[in-house]
Amino acid sequence: MRTLPAIVVIAALIAGAVFIADRPGAVSLTWEGWRVDTSIAVMVFGIALIAILAAALFHLVRKIIAGPGAFARARRERRRRRGYRALTQGMVAVAAGDAAEAKRCARQADLLLAEPPLTLLLSAQAAQLNGDQKAAQNYFAAMLERPETEFLGLRGLIMQALKQNDEAEALRLARRAKALHPKTPWVLASLFELQARTGKWGEAEATLKIAARRNALPEPESRRHRAVVLHEQSRVAEAEGRDRDAARLAAAANAMAPGFTPAALHHAGLLRASGHRRHARKVIEAAWRLAPHPELATAYGALFADERPMEQVKRYETLAAQNKDHLESHIAIATAALAARLWGEARRHLAACGGTEGAAATSPRVCRLMAELEEAEHNDLPAARMWLARAASGQATEPSYVCGACGGETASWSSLCPHCRSFDSIEWRLPGRAPATRLQAAAEMTPSLPVPGRVPDETRLAVENGGPGALA
Ligand SMILES: [Zn+2]
């Protein structure tokens, strides 16, 4: 089909030639003493030749006139292409952790592309990778000057500030980021975390409410965070002598997350101090139903410290009835029974939670209570020593307060991890491996700077903690 127009044209030409050949005629041209006599056919051929030559000449002249401009355009286009290639390679180098290559590409891209918004981020990341924090800081600061890169610059500076443990500066920057993009989940999450870290509980509560409305945090996590914030506000109120505020906030924290032991303990403690012993007992029993904890058992015993050991056993039986088969319930009754010299009762409860000869992986606390029982009841020292050896054997571990972010252990609960300062990361559980911190996760969730052309997904902004993967 493509040859059809050519065939039509050739046919028309042949028809024209035949038409002229069939009808011969003469042409006579006189001009300035010249005279040309020729046939029609030659004249038509001559005119066609002149037309073709004129067209070729016109094309040539146009090329010569447009020449320099087109050359410069092609050169610019080549530079631009090379610049984007350098930019892409630089980002790949950042993702791969190749500091020298990243620096080289950043310099090349900066030279070839006169587009600071695109090259500043790469330069900053390359500087970070090379350990040049000062230069990275300067690049991020330069990004603040332009509206299109201000947000990314803020983000880089927040991470830099966190790396230098300057939480006040990070908070100031996070507030500015929130003013720019109030809906961005990582901004809300980071702002909340920083407000909590700096003890600004009122602001943290307000941010948390916005984050919950925008679904920036999963519902259970946001409820739990609110409980922790209320709990901390109650503690501040207690320290400042605002007893009624303290009681109100403690009740709210406990209601927000009933299984959150520190809030229940604090609430019960305030109630006991204000003479509401019965209410305190109910609070601990409700917490025990959801999450039995040795500290709850101790606080429960403190409510009845004036009673005789036999009466205390009865009290603990009421508490244990809230969560009958739980290890902590058996341990609580066994401990009280030992104090009341009720050997049979103590042995029965310890046996129910691994306190028998053949039981595997018995809790060290149960082993120590068994040793105490063997010694107190029968004065059986070899058996007591055997149980103590089992407690120390390490075949079972006790739960403790472990940071879910860094894996560090602490003796008591606190809203900020004493090791990594993560907010609400301390859990009561068996020690184990640590997942990434939330701020790190928030940073990794956000896409990198949009760049024309393809940029690998793994190119990310720096994250809070250093190490070889700091920029990946
Ligand atoms: Zn930690």
In this predicted structure, the answer to whether residue 233 has a pLDDT above a threshold of 90 is yes
What is the pTM assigned to this prediction?
A: 0.70
Q: Is the pLDDT of residue 170 over 80?
A: yes
Contact call for residues 296 and 263 (beta carbons, < 8 A): no
State how far the Cα of 51 lies from the Cα of 49, in Å rounded to an integer.
5
Dist. CA 390 → ligand 1 center (Å): 31
Query: How does residue 81 score in pLDDT terms, banded at 50, 70 and 90?
Result: very high
436 pLDDT above the threshold of 60: no
Average pLDDT over residues 291-315: 94
What pLDDT is stored for residue 16 in this prediction? 82
pLDDT above 80: residue 1: no
When the pLDDT of each residue in the chain is averaged and rounded to a whole number, the result is: 86
Integer Cα distance of 462 and 472 in angstroms: 7
pLDDT score for 461:
32
DSSP secondary structure letter of residue 59: H
Indicate if the pLDDT at residue 79 is higher than 70: yes
Tokens for 256, please give them: 């927000």
Contacts of 425 (CB under 8 A, 6+ apart): 403, 404, 405, 406, 417, 437, 438
Tell me the mean pLDDT in the region 363-385.
94
Structure tokens at 103: 């620096």
What distance in angstroms lies between residue 435's CA and the mean position of ligand 1's atoms?
A: 10
CA of 410 to the centre of ligand 1 (A): 9
In the predicted structure, residue 382 carries a pLDDT above the cut 80: yes
Q: Say how many Å lie between the CA of residue 430 and the centre of ligand 1.
A: 15
- pLDDT band, residue 344 (cuts 50/70/90): very high
- pLDDT the model gives residue 88: 92
More confident call, 32 vs 338: 338
> How far is C-alpha 158 from the chain's CA centre?
14
Q: Residue 413 has what pLDDT?
A: 95
Q: How confident is the model at residue 69 (pLDDT cuts 50, 70, 90)?
A: confident
**420 CA distance to ligand 1 middle (Å):** 4
Confidence of residue 130 (pLDDT cuts 50, 70, 90): confident
User: Which of 462, 322, 326 lies closest to 399 in space, CA to CA?
Assistant: 326
* Side chain identity, residue 151: F
**pLDDT at residue 284 in the model:** 96
Could you give the CA distance from residue 106 to residue 471 in angstroms, rounded to a whole number? 15
How close is the Cα of 406 to the center of ligand 1, in Å? 4
| Cα–ligand 1 centroid distance for 404 (angstroms) | 7
The CA 427 to ligand 1 mean position distance, Å, reads: 10
Q: How far is the CA of 431 from the centre of ligand 1 (A)?
A: 12
**pLDDT of res. 432:** 66
pLDDT in tens, 181-199: 888 888 998 999 999 999 9
Percent of the chain topping pLDDT 90:
55
Provide the residues around ligand 1 (an ion) whose CB is within 5 A: 403, 405-406, 408, 417, 419-420, 422
Question: What band does 443 get if pLDDT is binned at 50, 70 and 90?
Answer: very low
Q: Could you give the 3-state DSSP secondary structure of residue 31? A: strand
- State the pLDDT at residue 119: 87
Residue 353: what are its φ and ψ, rounded to 5°? Answer: -125, 40
Identify any residues that bridge with 34 across adjacent strands, giving them in sequence order. Answer: 31
